[in-house]
Each structure stands twice: as structure tokens, then as C-alpha cells.
A and B are shown apart, each in its own frame.
With several copies, the nearest count.
Chain A
Amino acid sequence: MKKLINSPDAVIPDALRGVAAAHPSLHVDLENRVISRAQRTPGKVGVVSGGGSGHEPLHGGYVGFGMLDAAAPGEVYTSPVPDQILAATQAADAGAGVLHIVKNYTGDVLNFRMAAELAEDEDIQVVSVVTDDDVAVEDSTFTAGRRGVGGTIVAEKVAGAAAEDGADLETVARLATEVNERSRSFAIALHAGTVPAAGKPGFNLAENEVEIGVGIHGEPGRERGEFAPVKELVGYALDAIHADRPISGDVLVIMNGQGGTPLIELYGAFAEAVDWLDGHGATVARNLVGNYITSLDQAGFSITVTSLTDELVRYWDAPVSTPALRWGV
């Protein structure tokens, strides 16, 4: 599998050089591998996220006014390390404490936990919110728990807006938690992405197979299913979400591409989602259609549904200026 890279080892540093050159409003610490805002707002709660790379624009693409203060990108599909998360936390700290938004994977959770301990040693107050919105995985004592996926973007946007607004750490954390509780996601893959170091697709699907409930690292979810028209695939995903937390009222929908699906297909998938939601009496009050949390060049979609409140809408609509999300400024 050909990749547009210099070598598997160089993927992250090369990309970080590119991010630094492309976005003058960001500061990129190449040594520690941290993307942060070039300017800090004294007294503002810092919002930090991070995780394995390969999900771009998540998280580095969400650093900027109204959203994250810093992001710690790990190796491809591998969580960042504590020192790196500490450096991101320090870059985000402006005296009012720092929120860690952590996707629920054992590696991320453990590395962020160690980083939080290190940060406390440096007198930075840290609160962590773990996102786990992927309904494909049964949340039970028999698994590592649900995975954090697309809902994380909403948590980052809402928490970032609240922090920008001057909310305190407790409030910002409360909002991120609330978003997570109100968000559910489900993904289906048509074919696997390729990790540069592996050099071949992470799993193999036959011409008539799809991976139902796939994770953002190509982890399997529920089952291999039969390939079907997009209307049915989207219906399956929304049924799964609805069964877990009934969908009603005003919702935010993210029709997300996994990196290798053409935008024209995502719009078609979004049309089907809107039809399904209309049929279930829900209203798509806000939406994103595009590649927002990817799995390298994996083909497929994920859909995230967040049940909105007036407060969440207000924070969602608040100005944001990051490489990947930008409005109101």
C-alpha cells in the first residue's frame, strides 16, 4: 500500500512541520509533539485533548479560539505518552485549571491519568472527562467500556466555547460530561484503512461485506454484515443508536467520513439520515457533513447524534476558529 510519506517513522514529525507551516495561529512544539494556540488567554480554563494520530482533523485540527487550547498527538493509532500530555497541559494552563477530554481507550485513559498526576505535581488542577459514545460496544463489566468517538468533537466544541466564555473548570467539565451523556455514535466500514507502519489494510472485507460497528482504529464492533444500499446502512446505524438512547427532539448530527469516502457519498448518507430522523419525529437542528474524525484512508461513515438543549446549541453556535471548524469569526 503506497502512502504519501517519507517513512513510517517520520509521519508524525513531518505532519507537525506541515501543521506549523500551515497555521500561523497555532504553535507547534515539535520536540514534545504538542499543538497549541499561539496565544494564551489569562484566567481561562484550558481544554486539552489528544490520542493516537490517524484521526485527523481530530484533535490538532480543533485547536484554536473557542475550542481546544492544546492537543497531544500520539503515534498513529497509539495514545500519546504522559510527558507529552503534560506538555500540552502546561501549554493550555492559564491559571484556571485544565480539562482533559479523553476518549475511552485503555491506553488513552492510563496515559492521561499519569499525565494528570504529573500536572498536579506542578500545581496545575486537572479534571478529566472520558468520552464513550460508541454504542457498537456493549458497555459492560466484560469490556474496556464503550469507545470514545464522534461525540468527542461535540464535547470539545461545547467545552471550548464555555471556557472561552469564562466558565470555571467545574462548569466546563460538567458540560463536556453532559455532551457525552447526550451523544451516541455508530460506524460502518466498507474497507479498512492502512497504518503506514503496517503497510497493509488493517482488516480484509470481501466484496459483499461491511464491518458493522467498527471502531476508529479499525477495531471490529458487532459483526461482519452484508453490503447494502446506503439507506439501509444508515438505518442500521440509527436503529442501533435509537435502541440505546431514544432519539427525539432537536439533535445535532455529524455525518462523518472515515477518511476514504468521497464527500458526495457522505451527503447522500446524510440525506438518508435526515429521512430516518424525520420519520422518527426528530429534528436535525445542527449538522456537520464531512471528514471530522477519520481512520486514515478507511472507507465508510460514522454517525453521531447529540440530543440538544438550548445551552448546548448556544455553545455549539458560539464562534470558533480552528483549522477544521470555523464560524462566527
Chain B
Amino acid sequence: MDTATTIAWITRAAELVRADESRLTALDAAIGDGDHGANLARGLAAAVTAMGEKEPESPGKALIAAGRGLVAKTGGASGPLYGTGFRRAGKELGDGGDVGQVGAALEAMLRGIEELGGATQGDKTIIDALAPAVVAFQEAAGNGSDLHAAAEAAADAADAGLAATVPLQARKGRASYLGPRSVGHEDPGAASTALILRALADVTAP
């Protein structure tokens, strides 16, 4: 994973989120406060800008800049969570490297979000898409997949994780106020995580 690919990833994620902004907002309106699409579109646009401000020296620096952009502009719960996640991933990724190192970076992202938000799998959050994605990515990498194949596996697992949030009752974030009424809906944060991983698969396609 080189710097150009890293920048392309975040740029693609920003595109996908912008394209699906109203879907994310609708999901958040159903069980939250209806701003997730706008928040993350604003945040990822800022991430792209942050990466562009001074040519990042490494993939890691690119992700750290993206994380700072996200923290600075997203607001809401998702801003600090994604921002911290990307910064942690950037620190782990450093000068970049092979598919194994990208897997480690994704895991660092997961841990960062878990630590800050205190959510675990099953709470109906970002974690429910990200955790299975990290497992799938690392499994694929362990089985000798290349970056694209591992990213595809991760994106598919995130989609499945997203689908699995539907029957869950939220225990973290705004949706938790709904109690049982949060059941029956996709979690907006899990949905945006699935887009972010799909973006990685897209930009690593041969």
C-alpha cells in the first residue's frame, strides 16, 4: 500500500459517502438524529482536503492527516471515532507495506474506535461492521490473498456485519435511547463503515 493508493482510498470513501449521503441520513433519522450522512460527507471532504494540504510523505502520514480532518470537521459521535480510528491506522501503517501490514493498520483502527467509544460487537455500532471486516481481511491475508482480494473480503464481511445489525437493539450512541424500538433498522455508522471498506476494495482493484 503506497501513499497514492492511500489517498485514493480516502478520496473514494468520500465519493461513496457523498453519493449515499441521503441513505445514511435516512438510516440515522430512523434511529438517531438524521445527520450522519451530512456529518460524514463533511468530515471526509475535510479529510481529503487535509491530505492535499501538504503532500503526505507516507501512507501513514496520509491517514493521520485524514484522521485529523475527520476530527476537525465531522462533529457528532462519528467524527472523533473515525478520526481516532484513522489516526491509529496511520500510526500503524507508517511507511506502508504489504497486505499483512494493512491488516494490522485496520486492526489498530478497530482498537482505537473500541477504546474511545467503549462499544463491543453487538452494540449496533461501527464495530459491528468493522470487527468482522478486520477478521475477514486478516484471514484472507493469512491465506495468501493480495491486497485487493483481502479488501474485497473485508468489504463483504462489513456488508454482512451491517445486515446483522438489523435485529440488534442498540446499546451505544443515540439509537440506544430507542431501546427495543431500535430493532429492525440498519445502523448508520455500520453502513458508513461498509462504504469505507468498499472504497478500499475499489481503489486496490488491479
Contacts and interface: CB of A to CB of B under 8 A. Distances in A.
Contact of A74 (B32, B72, B75): B75
Interface stretch (A105-113, A243-251, A262-270, A312-320): A105-113
A107 B177 contact: no
A110 B77 contact: yes
Interface residues of B, number: 33
A137 B80 contact: no
B72 A219 contact: no
A77 B29 CA distance: 12
Main SS of chain A's interface residues? Answer: loop
Nearest to A197: B38
Nearest to A77: B33
Contacts of A219: 32-33, 174, 177-178
Interface string B40-80: 00100000000000000000000000000001111111111
Given A110-B116, A202-B29, A81 B174 contact: no
Interface residues on A, range: 35 or more
A166 to B, nearest CB: 34
A30 interface: no
A127 interface: no
Interface stretch (A35-43, A59-67, A139-147, A273-281): A139-147
A81 B71 contact: yes
A218 interface: yes
A299 to B, nearest CB: 18
Contact of A111 (B25, B38, B75, B172): B75
Contacts of A83: 71-72
Interface string B104-146: 0000000000001100000000000000000000000000000
Q: Which of B73, B77, B172 is the most central at the interface, judged by chain A CB atoms within 10 Å of its CB?
A: B77
A1 interface: no
B23 interface: no
B117 A110 contact: yes
Contacts of A106: 77, 117, 172-174
B176 A107 contact: no
B148 interface: no
Contact of A137 (B25, B171, B177): B177
Contacts of A75: 35, 38-39, 42, 75
A221 interface: yes
A81 B73 contact: yes
A110 B33 contact: no
Most-contacted residue by chain B among A77, A107, A147 (CB, 10 A):
A107
B29 A198 contact: yes
A107 B77 contact: yes
A20 interface: no
Nearest to A203: B29
A29 interface: no
Nearest to B181: A220
Which of B25, B33, B75, B177 neighbours the largest number of chain A CB atoms within 10 Å of its CB?
B177
Contacts of B84: 114
Given A75-B75, A77-B33, A82-B72, A220 B80 contact: no
Contacts of B38: 75, 78, 197
A45 interface: no
A147 B39 CA distance: 21
A12 to B, nearest CB: 11
A144 B80 contact: no
B179 interface: yes
A44 interface: no
B81 interface: yes
B171 A195 contact: no
B5 to A, nearest CB: 28
9 shortest interchain CB distances as A-B pairs: A110-B80, A143-B176, A106-B77, A107-B77, A107-B76, A78-B75, A217-B33, A144-B176, A78-B76
Given A78-B35, A82-B72, A202-B33, 7 more contacts: A79-B77, A81-B71, A106-B77, A110-B79, A114-B84, A142-B171, A218-B33
8 contacts: A76-B35, A77-B33, A78-B39, A107-B75, A142-B179, A143-B176, A202-B34, A217-B33
Interface of B: 25, 29, 32-35, 38-39, 42, 71-81, 84, 116-117, 169, 171-174, 176-179, 181
